[in-house]
Amino acid sequence: MPTFTFNHLALSVKDVAESVDFYQRVFQLEEIPNTASTSKTRWLSLGEGKQLHLIPRPDFEIRTNKAVHFALSTADFEGLVAHLEALQIPYEDWKDNPQQVFVRKDGKRQVYFQDPNGYWVEVNDDV
């Protein structure tokens, strides 16, 4: 069985600048580069390589969606995907393509799947 580490927490927010300001004021989090894309998503460091991603969704009602997820990283990404398939747990890429792995701009691979309550989980190989 692969081992895992916590990677990041992603939150949908109405106003990214206001959210960055809040988290920096309350927790003094340092802003770090978004290495995954050129979007307006902004990243904050939680320390020890852990991150908080603030994803702009100004016109959305804030509710559970794929942009609201927690992520785990594993060095055995292929093992994880095989394990999901063995358990018959459907997964998809960022663009909602079933049983597909997404490769980010920075080359990291990721899949997404839902728990029994509908919460999204990402597993990536950003170890």
Domain residue spans of the chain: 5-124
Q: Is the pLDDT of residue 27 over 90?
A: no
pLDDT in tens, 38-86: 999 999 999 999 999 999 988 887 777 899 898 989 999 999 999 999 9
Check residue 92 and give its pLDDT: 98
Q: Categorize the per-residue pLDDT at 29 as very low, low, confident or very high, splitting at 50, 70 and 90.
A: confident
Q: What is the pTM of this model?
A: 0.70
Percent of the chain scoring above 90 in pLDDT: 70
Classify residue 47 as exposed, middle or buried by CB count within 10 Å of its CB (0-12, 13-18, 19+): exposed
Judge: domain 5-124, CATH 3.10.180.10.
yes
Q: Is the pLDDT of residue 114 over 80?
A: yes
| Contact predicate 64/120, CB 8 Å | yes
Which stretches within 1-127 are classed as H helix? 16-27, 77-86
Across the chain, mean pLDDT equals: 92
What φ, ψ does residue 46 adopt, rounded to 5°? -100, 5
| Contact predicate 72/7, CB 8 Å | yes
